[in-house]
């Protein structure tokens, strides 16, 4: 995550919400969803559609309409579906019927069928509401929508990119990764930035303007794929093709961090399944586990996709386990400083896989006046958000030599972990909760040189007190 000047630092802000207020995820059992989908093909009128809705489905819907002001239901994991906007009054049952039918047939995988995101006008989603909905025989899953935040804490500026030296990016011939497609799900991107314009294959900002108000997604994208040897700015790790998705709504006020949009997020994950995406960068996190999100990740990993995730910047706020870094087979990335010590903000845990540079990381930012900078194109930020794209770029480079098998993604992840540099602070261990398997080593991962056993930097015994990462986002 990377901080903005308007955002509070550790110990000076209230704890963030675990869930998006007023929203639920509901998944019907496959049989019920298919029954409704079949009825939608046969029943031409709204009255006929309502008559075809099973009682086990209509009961929970009526409960939400009568008690909480059901405003909208939208199918998750459906790309290009912008139907069912929020209604000023309770949502019509016929519209509910159509949304459920769409969720049963449109997602790219059977495992992602039937999921709905529900928007409520009134009432607080509590354990009693969840229990009532789960009692229906037609309901397979009900859970709150998890909140996620950003984790930010021959090129003229390349000499200032200490992170590239730390991971030995300069130590081997760099193969082209132009055939590897990488997705960045974040706050958006400056698609016209001179160091990114030739790297971006696709930019989706459904329902929002194109501007990256927070700068976070632009910074992450630059670390991965800023064009090399273009006589402009910095160098990205991999000259891959970027697919950028804006999964945060435009902030309504300065410092607003309650704008994660799970609907857009689910569309981006579904699009990755339906395309040639090989690596996904998720410099985001939150404290709540989501079965819906985990289901999507399992499908992506099964399809051979590498998922790089930020460990989070809340070590000094209780060091909570954060997701998606907490899911199995994702690459949870922690941050180190220029002394190769764990950054003071970087979360730790048994689920960490490795660490990468995450303090004073120079990268691209939007060329506009904003909270993070004033009319500039580059800035140095801290955060596990800044560490994660180092791993994403390395994964794209390693992926070049992998086959298209479904195990390719896991093989790439295993390669990055197995070749990590063992740091002095690990005291001879192969794994620690602070550093995982060690510091990312691009040269070793590509097989150009042998993996290093120790970092070359002499360090003090104490963890370095890094500049606080921006706490509003990972």
Per-residue pLDDT band at 151 (split at 50, 70, 90): confident
Residue owning tokens 């769409």 = 102
Taking residues 316-331, what's their average pLDDT? Answer: 96
Catalytic residue among 151, 385, 390, 455: 385
Token output for 445: 């991962």
Mean pLDDT across the chain = 83
Catalytic residue among 193, 216, 219, 390: 216
Token output for 375: 């009319």
Best-predicted range by mean pLDDT (9-23, 124-138, 243-257, 281-295): 281-295
Token output for 179: 């055939």
DSSP classification of residue 470: P
Contacts of 34 (CB under 8 A, 6+ apart): 104
Query: CB burial class (10 A; 0-12, 13-18, 19+) of residue 382?
Result: buried
Per-residue pLDDT band at 173 (split at 50, 70, 90): low
Give helix 384-399 / helix 216-225 axis angle, nearest 10°.
30
**Which residues make up the CATH 3.40.50.200 domain(s) of the chain?**
149-445
On the question of pLDDT at 139 being above 80, the answer is yes
Is 371 known to be catalytic? no
pLDDT for 370 equals 56
Closest CA to 121 of 162, 64, 175: 64
Catalytic residue among 97, 103, 136, 186: 186
Class of domain 149-445: alpha beta
Residue 10 in contact with residue 472, Cβ under 8 Å? no
Is 385 known to be catalytic? yes
Q: How far is it, in rounded angstroms, from Cα 360 to Cα 469?
A: 10
Q: How far is it, in rounded angstroms, from Cα 130 to Cα 443?
A: 50
Count of H helices and E strands in the chain? 12, 15
Contacts of 447 (CB under 8 A, 6+ apart): none
């Amino acid at each position: 995550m990377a901080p903005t000047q308007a955002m509070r630092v550790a110990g000076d802000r209230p704890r963030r919400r675990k869930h998006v207020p007023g929203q639920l995820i509901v998944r019907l059992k496959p049989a019920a969803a298919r029954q409704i989908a079949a009825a939608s093909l046969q029943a031409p009128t709204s009255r006929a559609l309502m008559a075809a809705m099973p009682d086990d489905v209509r009961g929970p819907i009526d409960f939400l309409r009568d008690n909480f002001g059901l405003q909208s239901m939208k199918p998750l994991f459906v790309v290009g579906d912008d139907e069912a906007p929020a209604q000023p009054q309770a949502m019509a049952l016929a519209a509910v019927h159509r949304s459920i039918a769409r969720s049963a047939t449109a997602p790219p995988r059977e495992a992602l069928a039937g999921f709905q995101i529900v928007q409520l006008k009134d009432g607080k989603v509590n354990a009693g509401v969840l229990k009532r909905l789960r009692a229906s025989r037609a309901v397979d899953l009900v859970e709150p929508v998890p909140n996620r935040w950003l984790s930010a804490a021959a090129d003229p500026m390349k000499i200032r990119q200490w992170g590239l030296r730390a991971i030995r990016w300069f130590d081997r011939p760099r193969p082209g990764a132009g055939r590897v497609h990488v997705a960045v799900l974040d706050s958006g991107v400056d698609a016209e930035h001179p160091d990114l314009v030739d790297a971006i294959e696709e930019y989706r900002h459904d329902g929002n303007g194109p501007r990256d108000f927070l700068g976070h997604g632009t910074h992450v994208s630059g670390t991965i794929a800023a064009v090399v040897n273009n006589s402009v700015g910095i160098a990205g790790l991999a000259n891959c093709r970027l697919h950028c998705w804006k999964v945060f709504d435009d902030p309504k006020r300065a410092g607003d961090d309650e704008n994660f949009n799970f609907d857009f997020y689910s569309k981006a994950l579904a699009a990755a399944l339906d395309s040639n995406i090989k690596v996904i960068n998720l410099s985001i996190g939150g404290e709540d586990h989501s079965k819906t999100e985990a289901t999507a990740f399992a499908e992506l990993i099964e399809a051979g996709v590498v998922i790089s995730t930020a460990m989070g910047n809340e070590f000094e706020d209780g060091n909570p386990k954060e997701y998606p870094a907490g899911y199995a087979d994702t690459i949870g990335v922690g941050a180190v400083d220029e002394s190769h010590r764990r950054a003071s903000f970087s979360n730790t845990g048994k689920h960490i896989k490795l660490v990468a540079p995450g303090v004073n990381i120079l990268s691209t930012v939007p060329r506009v006046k904003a909270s993070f900078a004033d009319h500039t194109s580059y800035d140095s930020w801290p955060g596990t958000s800044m560490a994660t794209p180092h791993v994403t770029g390395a994964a794209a480079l390693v992926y070049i030599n992998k086959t298209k098998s479904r195990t390719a993604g896991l093989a790439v992840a295993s390669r990055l972990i197995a070749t990590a540099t063992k740091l002095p602070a690990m005291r001879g261990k192969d794994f620690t909760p602070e550093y995982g398997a060690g510091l990312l080593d691009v040269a070793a991962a590509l097989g150009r040189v042998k993996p290093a056993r120790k970092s070359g930097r002499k360090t003090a015994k104490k963890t370095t007190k890094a500049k606080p990462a921006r706490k509003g986002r990972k």
